[in-house]
Chains A and B, each alone.
Chain A
Amino acid sequence: MNSRLRWRKFVSGFMLTLTGVCAVVSVLALFLILGYLVVRGGASINWAFFTRLPAPVGEIGGGMANAIVGSGKLLLLATLFGVPIGFLGAIYLAEFSGHKMAFLVRYSADLLNGVPSIVIGVFAYTVAVLPFKQFSTLAGGFALGLMMIPITLRSTEDFLRSVPNNLREGAMALGASKWKMIATVIVPAAYRGILTAVLLAFARVAGETAPLIFTALGNTFWSPGWTQPTSSLPVTIYNYALSPYEDWHRQAWAGGLVLLVLILLINIIARGILARGISVSRS
């Protein structure tokens, strides 16, 4: 073996090892960080965290009950606003639309998907806060719902298109009208995929902070109804982490852990649903 070849083999081995190191460093750094969150959050969490209102500044104790309920209300609004538009819009794209309209809708959805969440928040602020001079749960829900639309729409469309055409032809041949075919054949055939899409969209907005800061704002008490400012888990974590109080730092860790577990669980469930096979592929 001449020295040139030996050198080339050495470079090859060296560089390939280096890529392995890159992979290990990337994955390990991320795991260390999240592991630390689990340790710190796990040590900080207690029952009061889920059941109590925030304690007055300077007092030890209290919890984030209002933030958890607030996040729930915001996410409910977001789902009610974002999912129907995404789902029905996707049905239009996959089953009814011509090329021009489909291109326009898809392009808009992709654009919306790429907009930084803070800009979505600015938009929600100009249309849902400024005209009413009032921060509200509704404005926050609008911002989050807007972010759910493109994710739901694009994946639902993909899953609807993956339904084989012979199912459509079969339904038509039996005399079903088009909407009946969609409602009883196409959507049921793609429901696993659609459910996954909705879950992933939900998980994506559940941790969003930036669009909520100046739409839902925050609240140290319960927020009655839908037109008052409301506290939410991500914004509370953000405020507590930047506060000078030791006990609030502890609660920020606990909140971070709760948020992380929630989001990762939804992600894993969504992927699990998909991995069990889209019902289409069995037919």
Chain B
Amino acid sequence: MATSSTTLPSAGPAAGSRSFLSRLRDGDEVARLITFLFAATVVLMTLLLVFELWQGSVLPRHKFGLAFFRTSTWDPVEEQFGAIPFIYGTLVTASVALLIAVPLGIGAAIFLAELAPPRISDTLEFFIDLLAAVPSVIYGILGVFIVVPLMRQYIDPALKSVLGFLPLFQGPAYGVGFLTAGIVLAIMVIPFIISVSREVLLSVPRDQREAALALGATRWESTWKVVVPFARSGILGSIFLALARALGETMAVAMVIGNDPKISASLFAPGYSIAAVIANELAEATSELHTQSLIELGLVLFLLTFILNGLARVLIVVTSQRGAGSATA
């Protein structure tokens, strides 16, 4: 590091050729070392996080092995721990959330990027950014006191009478359950989808739109057949980001999903999610195996979001490079 990192291109050759002693006297070496230590802390913390999650879940990994992901009993008294109900709940709620949030969010992003006058678009974007900053516990109380009663009294019965022939919409409606959690999650991730998709759509070069319009396409055809496909991977990236957030979201889900480790086909039924069970049980876990099983669930969640975030970043970078490439070409 000592040789490669002392010079900025901008600092010119002078800085590089000064002797180590004179740099030490100026304080440069000291400053470099101190800031290096702080930067290295970031890397160390990240490594420590992965290490602790791995090390902290040794017991269940040895005791259950892959059976942890194949059994559905979660019984702290009998010390039987299987993760399926939680993984199921996490995936179902996240899917419901995306089914609602993706069309709404992308539609809104298209409107903001393609149709709305810049001033309106920027103003709405400002509010949407603020909404993205609202903490999840607040969406949680709104979910508990508004969405849950609404679901129980109106939405669940209405869905049942129209789509009741599907197993998805059968059984008693408690208000809490997969569907409610999915809806609250959708409300939470919509701002992310709008914000990132709008950004990506705005980065599509103007020539693309003009070329399509000049060929006689209607405004919608130019948007849907040219602009959106151009921004496709970036939009996909925004969806992955939203998915990662929906999977890891804790408080709002824990407050409305019902916290019952069961697997039910019905979306009205109460369930449980990985993040919610960690939040509810870790502080009160009695046996070491129980604690470590919860930590293993944390590890699973970490890996899931790690993969999704990685994919999202690659997709967004790819799109913005395509935009930049053809803009200069």
Contacts and interface: CB of A to CB of B under 8 A. Distances in A.
Interface of A: 8-9, 11-13, 15-16, 18-23, 25-27, 29-31, 33-34, 36-37, 40, 84-85, 88-89, 91-93, 95-101, 104-105, 108-112, 114-123, 125-127, 130, 135, 146, 149-150, 153, 165, 168-169, 172, 177-180, 182, 203-204, 206-210, 213-214, 217, 234, 237-238, 241-242, 249, 252-253, 256, 259-260, 263-264, 267-268, 271
B328 interface: no
B12 A26 contact: no
A228 to B, nearest CB: 15
Interface stretch (B68-76, B164-172, B217-225, B230-238): B217-225
- Chain A contact surface mostly: helix
The 9 closest A-B pairs by CB, nearest first: A207-B135, A116-B248, A22-B107, A177-B26, A12-B220, A92-B35, A179-B31, A12-B218, A114-B309
Contacts, number: 297
B278 A118 contact: yes
- Chain B contact surface mostly: helix
Name which of B110, B111, B137 has the most chain A CB atoms within 10 A of its CB: B137
Nearest to B22: A177
B34 interface: yes
B140 A238 contact: yes
Given A12-B218, A125-B282, A93 B275 contact: no
Residues of B in contact with A, size category: 35 or more
A247 to B, nearest CB: 14
A172 B202 CA distance: 39
Nearest to A120: B49
Contacts of B124: 23, 27
Contacts of A120: 49
Contact of A26 (B5, B42, B194): B194
Interface string B108-119: 101110111000
A204 B136 CA distance: 11
B111 A20 contact: yes
Contacts of B275: 116, 118, 210
A41 B56 CA distance: 41
B298 A135 contact: no
A253 B131 contact: no
Name which of A37, A150, A178 has the most chain B CB atoms within 10 A of its CB: A178
Given A30-B191, A96-B32, A116-B250, 10 more contacts: A30-B187, A30-B190, A88-B39, A97-B36, A100-B4, A116-B275, A119-B301, A135-B283, A178-B28, A209-B136
A16 B115 CA distance: 8
Interface string B196-219: 000000000000000000000011
B265 interface: no
Contact of A252 (B103, B141, B279): B141
Contact of A172 (B11, B136, B219, B294): B11
Given A19-B110, A114-B306, A237-B141, A168 B43 contact: no
Nearest to B295: A122
A115 B49 contact: yes
B226 interface: no
Nearest to B52: A126
B250 A210 contact: yes
Interface stretch (B81-89, B142-150, B153-161): B142-150
Contact of B282 (A96, A182, A214, A271): A214
A257 B323 CA distance: 42
Nearest to A172: B11
Contacts of A165: 10
Interface in B230-254: 244-245, 247-251
Contacts of A98: 1, 4-5
Given A9-B218, A16-B219, A126-B52, A114 B244 contact: yes
Given A209-B137, A264-B133, A96 B5 contact: yes
Contacts of A252: 141
Contacts of B108: 19, 22-23, 25-27
Contacts of A209: 135-137, 140, 250-251
A90 B162 CA distance: 56
Contact of B141 (A27, A150, A253): A253
